[in-house]
Homo-oligomer: A and B are copies of this chain.
Amino acid sequence: MNKKRITLKDIAEMAGVSIATVSRVINQNGRFSKETERRVKNIIKKFDYQPNLLARSLRTKKAQVIGIIVPDIINEFFARMTLEIQKRLFELNYMAIICNTNETTSVEEEHLSMLKGQRVSGVVFITGDLIKNQIQLDVPTIYIDRKPPNTRDSRNYVFIGSDNIQGGYLATQELINKGCQRIAFVRLGGDVSTHKDRFIGYKKALNECKMPTMDCLIRKIDNVSYKQGYKITKELFESDLLPDGIFYSTDILALGALKYLKEQGIKIPEDVRIVGFDDISLTQLSSPEITTIRQSVDYIADLTVNTLQKLIDGSSIDQKYYTVPVEIIRRKTT
């Protein structure tokens, strides 16, 4: 089907040199004359020669490929994170294999296994809801967003995440400062560390003001979607204790909430104030625009790629856990 691809050997023959010399020119390893270089490069260009990366990787035992495992690329926050990381990797001459797990453990494992088979140089985990029971981490790994499970071998990975506790704290404080008395909190259930931390921040802020945390104001959902945000808000407002402030641990939920509140004619921010989390672009587009906690995607992406590079090179790492500051973006819902 494909016409036979041109190889090092072909180039060498045409240039009248050995394959070793051609290889040296390509990799700029010195040990060749200017004249040879010129000739070889011409032929390479002329025939649009493209080195077989598979062969190279097989030989050097490292592929210029990084695997990115992400729970849900449709989620704008993950998409942006993935995109930014991929951009930076590309600049460093890495390809990215992006794997979508749909928050399913088995898929995650299969992906990881294939990535290992491809001998990727490193892996970035933007994790979903899942606790892996002791994944074998023989590949340099960066965990983003959610704290990694306990692994025996801790030399090979690094965790990078936003300061979710502080985020939860800032969000709740904002609501308190605006005079909210009954502040609800909606989060993803399960063991997702990010949402747990936001909850910690929520409680911390309430405690500081001697405000009680009321169980009926704290809601867990199974998955993140507009619909869930809509539904849970409905439930909250149909319950006894009407909230006058709600902190949603993800913007998407807040957006769903807005729809419900508007339908019911509940005024924002007069009747109820709202804070989200992530600062996805829609928070600026909705009306009213949503107050939210911004995670610094660019900063995290930078840190991720730089640290992964170090891990791969085997150079020393400053820290094993990085906490990236967040900021509150005040808009119209508070």
Q: Residue on B with the closest CB to A285?
A: B226
Q: Is A87 an interface residue (CB 8 A)?
A: yes
Q: Which of B53, B83, B226 contacts A119 (CB 8 A)?
A: B53
Q: Is A325 an interface residue (CB 8 A)?
A: no
A77-110 vs B, Cβ < 8 Å mask (1 yes, 0 no)? 0011011001100100001111110100001001
Measured in the bound complex, the distance between the Cα atoms of B287 and A259 in whole Å is 7
Measured in the bound complex, the distance between the Cα atoms of B87 and A115 in whole Å is 16
Q: Is A117 an interface residue (CB 8 A)?
A: yes
* Given contact pairs A76-B74, A87-B100, A285 touches B259 in the complex (Cβ within 8 A): yes
Number of copies: 2
Measured in the bound complex, the distance between the Cα atoms of B79 and A50 in whole Å is 30
Q: What's the nearest-Cβ distance from chain B to residue A148, in Å? A: 18
A240-275 vs B, Cβ < 8 Å mask (1 yes, 0 no)? 000000000000000110010011000000000000
Q: What's the nearest-Cβ distance from chain B to residue A81, in Å? A: 10
A101-144 vs B, Cβ < 8 Å mask (1 yes, 0 no)? 01000010011011111110000000000000000101110000
Q: Residue on B with the closest CB to A284?
A: B226
Measured between beta carbons, the chain B residues less than 8 angstroms from A73 are 73, 79, 82-83
Cβ-defined contact, A118 with B79, below 8 A:
no
Measured between beta carbons, the chain B residues less than 8 angstroms from A96 are 97-99
Q: Is A317 an interface residue (CB 8 A)?
A: no
Cβ-defined contact, A117 with B52, below 8 A:
yes
Cβ-defined contact, B255 with A285, below 8 A:
yes
Most buried by B among A73, A119, A136, A138: A73
Most buried by B among A90, A98, A281: A98
Cβ-defined contact, B2 with A117, below 8 A:
no
Q: What's the nearest-Cβ distance from chain B to residue A132, in Å? A: 14
Q: What's the nearest-Cβ distance from chain B to residue A156, in Å? A: 8
Q: Residue on B with the closest CB to A138?
A: B2
Q: List 24 A-B contacts (CB under 8 A).
A: A1-B140, A1-B156, A1-B314, A2-B138, A50-B116, A50-B117, A52-B117, A53-B114, A53-B117, A55-B58, A65-B97, A73-B73, A74-B79, A74-B80, A76-B76, A86-B99, A86-B100, A87-B100, A90-B111, A95-B99, A95-B114, A96-B98, A97-B97, A263-B287
